[in-house]
Amino acid sequence: MADDPYLWLEDITGEDALEWARAHNDATLAELGGERFEELRAEVLEVLDTDARIPYVGRRGDYLYNFWRDEANPRGLWRRTTLDSYRTDDPVWEVLIDVDELARAEDENWVWSSPEVIEPEHTLALISLSRGGADATVVREFDMRTKQFVEGGFELPEAKSSVSWEDEDTVLVCTDFGEGSMTESGYPRIAKRWRRGEPLENAETVFEAEPTDVRVIAGVDRTPGFEHTRLGRYTDFYNRIRYELRDGELILIDVPTDATTATHREWMLISLRTDWQVGDVTYTAGSLLATKFDDFLSGARDLTVVYEPDEHSCLSGASWTKDKLVLVTRRDVASHIEIVTPGSWERVDAPGIPPSDETVVVDTDPFGDEVFYDTSGFTTPSRLLHGTAGGALEQLKSAPSFFDADGINVAQYFATSADGTAIPYFVVGQRAEPSPTWLYGYGGFQNSLTPSYAGGLGRAWLTRGGTYVMANIRGGGEYGPRWHTQAMRENRHLVYEDFAAVAADLVRRGITTVEQLGASGGSNGGLLMGVMLTQYPELFGALVCSVPLLDMKRYHLLLAGASWMAEYGDPDNPADWVFMSKYSPYQNVSSDRRYPPILITTSTRDDRVHPGHARKMTAALEAAGHRVYYYENIEGGHGGAADNKQAAFKAALTYEFLWRMLGG
């Protein structure tokens, strides 16, 4: 579209664009609203708000901390308790921050973002709060002893900031310092040392990234005896140049720029995205290596392979306790937990973990040997386990069953993609005969989709006779970095061929029919839905596309879009646009093909993926004569919802749309 007739819809808060969005919201609710919609919303909200949920915690010093939302506290409570109290059925919680009360007192629509707590003292925190759920936040210093914000303390205005404690009176801060201080991707490019009582404009610059970089890196590890200050720059989404700051000197950490590193006490772990040759040895992509950090900085390359993947397995995560390393690995998506002893690097299976579809590490204590695990499955509610790494475990909490799982089966199948690759997917449902089926996918940024319990899905979809499918397509990380890297940029088509192969396989197996098959995805998964609509419309009966990228010709010019060019390509480069133009949904809308009905949702407050993508695609589809529904939440940021009520509304809209379109 050389002359884009819908460019005006990129005006995020322009009255014409907002009036357009409100009119579409009204039209969508007029058709999808009704008794069943309200029932679905109530069912989902009951799951989200119930006090029977597990209050997941993380240790900081003597306390376990939790952030909690429910019907009485829709914006949430930041609170803490002791382990002894947490073990009881009714823990005594000490509230530090009541976000609802704070929002009322300040007449602001605050949404909780995160706390940056000083370690190991746990006395002060830098609290990030956003307006309406945006990525941009304000930052305020909070005293965890007095439970009050610090008057005259560290405070930052709204920006996409990051902060890290150097000591109780000094922070490293990356924020919007004014003209020239942000990258083309909209993130900070300058790191400064800011001392208590000093005006922000007088803070000392310690490192600068380039304007063309994604963002600057600045972080501090305050572990006594093993203090580190890390500076650097993300040159693109996957590559970074890192330095250790010692006595005012920057020392290059000479690892592959696309590797991930983590230091713990005397050790450094290196996780490889691509093969790395060191001397005569080649370490394969997906491997986890360990070395003594100081020795490595001095030039030694004494590397130990802690984990090496194979064709069916990969590393999913690594978490430290004080004296142990906890590994989560996967084999054909199924999780497995191992405990590693540093030095010998001996790996043993973690004892005491019951069989389940999925086990994850909720939290570890880097100053002790405590670990929390969560185990669950598509039809098995979560159980929270607690103990020491490699020691005995106890079940601290269990979540209730939110739906009757009798007769609901879980099975894993493999579809064959166009290039012959086997693509795993899970099918959850009763499946006595072809039924309304909801296929979900993402396929990007090495994000893995894994089995988990979803009470709302069970109540609103599975027990009503629907089938749910989760596709583990390339672009994700279910088989490690190579599952992702082989589907980047010019090979992006593999993502879409994989998803289409799963859709066709569901029909071939008799699990569903084309008319009964719906699919959904958000963000990068929203792009996936846009491609399914414009390239594979004959495979689906309905699609749901949330907070999506869709105009790939202009995505890099909108908000954080430039940071994703390593994933998709640069549309201003003619060679890149050749392959991008073939799938970019907005540029490929056709009035000559039959499209399934589609629901497109976004948020006005999404400052990561511009709502203009969703708005413009909706307008183009309407102009081409297609059936499209649209809803734009004023709040919610990239998550699409700012509280549980909004999340339940958004979910119910999807459920009702799919039920109606798929004949449920």
Task: Write the DSSP assignment of 367-392 as a string of letters.
Answer: TSSEEEEEEE-SSS--EEEEEETTS-
DSSP letter for 150, please. Answer: P
Per residue, the 3-state secondary structure of 531-571, as one string, reads HHHHHCHHHCCEEEEECCCCCCCCHHHCHHHHHHHHHHCCC
- Give the pLDDT mean for 108-133: 96
512-562 pLDDT, tens digit each:
999 999 999 999 999 999 999 999 999 999 999 999 999 999 999 999 999
Whether 288 and 303 have beta carbons less than 8 Å apart is answered as no
Class of residue 35 by CB neighbours under 10 A (exposed 0-12, middle 13-18, buried 19+): exposed
Q: Is the model's pLDDT at 87 over the cut of 60?
A: yes
Which residues have a catalytic role annotated?
A: 523, 638
The confidence score (pLDDT) of residue 93 equals: 98
Q: What band does 356 get if pLDDT is binned at 50, 70 and 90?
A: confident
CA triplet 11, 14, 18: central angle to 5 degrees? 100
pLDDT of residue 636: 83
Taking residue 368's Cβ as centre, other Cβ atoms within 10 Å add up to 13
Q: How far is Cα 159 from Cα 181, in angstroms, rounded to an integer?
A: 12
Q: Tell me, what's the pLDDT at 635? A: 84
Residue 30 pLDDT > 70, yes or no?
yes
63-68 vs 77-81, strand pairing mode = antiparallel
439-468 average pLDDT score: 96
Q: Where are the alpha helices (DSSP H) in 191-260?
A: none
Which amino acid, residue 477? G
Average pLDDT, whole number, for the chain?
Answer: 96
pLDDT over 70 (residue 2): no
**439-466: average pLDDT:** 96
Closest CA to 471 of 536, 548, 413: 413
464 within 8 A of 457, measured Cβ to Cβ: no
User: Which residues, 6 or more positions from 375, have their beta carbon under 8 angstroms from its beta carbon?
Assistant: 353, 354, 356, 358, 359, 382, 383, 385
CA distance 422 to 440: 17
What was the pLDDT predicted at 432? 82
Look at residues 251, 257, 291, 254 and name the one whose alpha carbon lies nearest to residue 272: 257
Per-residue pLDDT reduced to its tens digit, 172-203: 999 999 999 999 999 999 999 999 999 999 99
Helix axes 644-661 and 35-49, enclosed angle (nearest 10)? 140
CA distance 219 to 408: 47
Matching residue, tokens 């004569």:
625
Q: Look at 184-188, 356-360, 594-598, 623-627 and tell me which has the smallest mean pLDDT.
A: 356-360
Amino acid at 114: S
For residues 321 and 469, is the Cβ–Cβ distance under 8 A? no
pLDDT class of 12 with cuts at 50, 70, 90: very high
Whether pTM exceeds 0.85: yes
Q: What is the pLDDT of residue 1?
A: 52
Degrees (nearest 5) of the Cα angle 87, 89, 90? 100
Q: Inform me whether the pLDDT recorded for 498 exceeds 80.
A: yes
Q: What is the pLDDT of residue 344?
A: 96
- Sorting pLDDT into bands at 50, 70 and 90, what band is 151? very high
Residue with tokens 């994700």: 476
The answer to whether 545 touches 593, Cβ cutoff 8 Å, is no
CB count in 10 Å sphere of residue 360: 18
**Tokens in use for 442?**
């993402």
Residue range 624-629: average pLDDT? 98
SS (H, E, C) 275-301: CEEECCEEECCCCEEEEEHHHHHCCCC
Average of per-residue pLDDT across 246-259 = 96
pLDDT band at 641 (very low <50, low <70, confident <90, very high): confident
- CA 658/CA 596 separation, integer angstroms: 11
Residue 458 pLDDT more than 70? yes
> Is residue 24 classed as helix, strand or coil in its secondary structure?
helix
32 SS3 class:
helix
Return d(Cα 507, Cα 603) in angstroms, integer: 34
Q: Which of 274, 335, 332, 308 is nearest to 485 (CA)?
A: 274
Q: For residue 264, what are its two tokens?
A: 């713990």
